[in-house]
Amino acid sequence: MKKYITEFIGTFFLVLTIGCTVVPGGAGVIPPLAIGAALMAMIFAGGHISGGHFNPAVTLAVWLRGRCDTKDVAPYMISQVLAAAAAACVVAFLYGTAKETMVIASVPKALVAEFLFTFALAYVVLNTGTAKGTANNSFYGLAIGFTVLTGAFAVGGISGGAFNPAVAVGIGLMKLVNIADIWIHIVADLAGGFVAAMVFKMNNAEDK
């Protein structure tokens, strides 16, 4: 149970940070920096308990890699999505919903953007958080948080920069993106996690 609570808490504060920095109209560098920092802090806080996934796509990748028990996959994902919904409710209480909803101008571009940076995120998680060659390192949280920060700067204007199906649910409920568009994030992000796991296993065949 403590693993699921940890996943809930980490995802909750990640999505809460997104909402509290973006919904009031935050612009420029502040939201990506805050979001990357929140993810980094929550990974350092909870990584030793649950692995610090806070993302269904990461859970999928870690499971396929062989470092997440099958019995934990569904509870992790449910905890993450519930946390995102709860965070959206708190943001709505504090700030209301977004004044402007992002219109995704190109579905193909958004799919590619979400896929590539979710792949990058899951690939970094697998190589810094689960690989034998980087075991017991002290930089994994920083590397993962900065991957999200980089993605938000690079393609946030194209897709909304979720890189996380749970985050997609949260930003949809906050009306930062159209709820009808979150399938783009869910499909692309899970695909990114899947491919990252396959690449990791190919490159690290001896790392079981």
**In the chain, which stretches have pLDDT less than 70?**
26-27
pLDDT digits (tens, 9 = 90+) for 50-82: 999 999 999 999 999 999 999 999 999 999 999
The class of domain 2-203 in CATH terms is: mainly alpha
| Separation of alpha carbons 31 and 63, rounded Å | 30
| Separation of alpha carbons 140 and 162, rounded Å | 20
Q: What are the residues facing 177 on neighbouring strands?
A: 102
| Separation of alpha carbons 16 and 191, rounded Å | 25
Q: What is the pLDDT of residue 27?
A: 64
pTM of the entire predicted model? 0.96
Q: What is the pLDDT of residue 13?
A: 98
| Separation of alpha carbons 31 and 17, rounded Å | 8
